Chain A
């Protein structure tokens, strides 16, 4: 392959228009030792690709990786197998904590309900007390009113008594008039 062809292929290569076999011939060209100076930078690219394609994974490494995995698996399972009691303890504490929470919640709610009922009852009681007091006061006030009526009647009685006293006086005077002796006599009292 002459240099001109290689240059053309390189141009196509950078445009992504080469086929795999074109690229193989480019690789083959650049693997040979005598490459013109102006193509040297491209040579390093193809040599790099060629070198990278030769990288292999030794079976040894693959085995090592497998061993690492087994170790990892062992370590993983060792943790859970080493303390089975501990694991159970974790579960038990979890369950206990759950039960405790439920019980305490029940207590709190019950207390709250009781408290509310007591408050409601107290409110009820004070209402009853209020109405009773009102009724009592009402009764007292009605009784007082009837008392005042009675007292008014007493008043008329007073007036009547006055009238009667006037009549009494008239009788006294009329007696004196009828018996002047008695009038002279101081021993006689009104």
Chain B
């Protein structure tokens, strides 16, 4: 694979990789770094890329693994100024006018999901992957993916219903 092929097949994945990394890390700057890192990893493997059935799945798996490494390294996080700035940025983002209450409610609902099911919802409902692709990326049985996707969707629905009931009570 030469640079041109790389630009055509892998570079356009940047947004998908970024969204996936952001879903896992919940942090913009780190997710941007992950995209760089994934590109570097794939570029180093450029001779072998043709042997993979799906380069996209490989990219997503690499993203997942790099994010897991990053999360592991966080166990004793150094709170830097950058993190605080990030936090402020994110708060600003959430209070932007085009976000209705319900949409920020779903953001909350996504947070109560377990990390794997959150990723499954992301891959299916946001990125629109097929079940066999998700099972490859998540390294899970296809049936297990279906089960936890269904459970996660219901969890989001119930969370929103409870939030709504709470709103009614308050009013």
Task: Report A's interface with B, CB cutoff 8 A.
Answer: 13-16, 20, 23-24, 40-42, 44-45, 47-49, 51-53, 55-57, 61-62, 64-66, 68-69
Chain A contact residues, majority secondary structure: helix
Residue-wise, chain B 1-26 has the 8 Å CB interface mask toward A (1 for contact) of 00000000000001101110010000
Is B103 a contact partner of A62 (Cβ separation < 8 A)?
no
B130 contact set on A, CB distance < 8 A: 20
**Nearest 6 CB-CB pairs, A to B?**
A16-B150, A44-B102, A57-B18, A65-B32, A48-B106, A16-B146
A21 vs B87: C-alpha distance when bound (angstroms): 37
A44 contact set on B, CB distance < 8 A: 100, 102-103, 105-106, 160
Is B22 a contact partner of A55 (Cβ separation < 8 A)?
yes
- Contact of B89 with A by CB under 8 A: no
Q: 14 additional contacts, CB 8 Å, given A23-B124, A65-B36?
A: A13-B153, A23-B128, A24-B128, A44-B100, A44-B105, A47-B103, A51-B103, A53-B19, A53-B127, A53-B128, A55-B15, A61-B32, A62-B14, A66-B36
B127 contact set on A, CB distance < 8 A: 53
A51 vs B157: C-alpha distance when bound (angstroms): 18
Is B106 a contact partner of A57 (Cβ separation < 8 A)?
no
Q: Which of A15, A23, A55, A66 contacts B125 (CB 8 A)?
A: A23
Query: Closest Cβ of chain B: how far from A61's Cβ, in Å?
Result: 5
A57 contact set on B, CB distance < 8 A: 14-15, 17-18, 31-32, 35
Task: Report B's interface with A, CB cutoff 8 A.
Answer: 14-15, 17-19, 22, 28-29, 31-33, 35-36, 100, 102-103, 105-107, 122, 124-128, 130, 146-147, 149-150, 153-154, 156-157, 160-161, 164
Chain B contact residues, majority secondary structure: helix
A14 vs B124: C-alpha distance when bound (angstroms): 13
17 A-B residue pairs with CB within 8 Å: A14-B153, A16-B147, A24-B128, A40-B102, A41-B157, A41-B164, A44-B100, A44-B102, A44-B103, A45-B106, A45-B157, A49-B125, A56-B18, A62-B14, A62-B32, A65-B32, A68-B29
A61 vs B153: C-alpha distance when bound (angstroms): 32
Is A69 a contact partner of B18 (Cβ separation < 8 A)?
no
A61 vs B127: C-alpha distance when bound (angstroms): 21
B15 contact set on A, CB distance < 8 A: 55-57
Query: Closest Cβ of chain B: how far from A37's Cβ, in Å?
Result: 12
A20 vs B19: C-alpha distance when bound (angstroms): 19
A14 vs B150: C-alpha distance when bound (angstroms): 5
Q: Which of B36, B126, B160 contacts A52 (CB 8 A)?
A: B126
A56 vs B15: C-alpha distance when bound (angstroms): 5
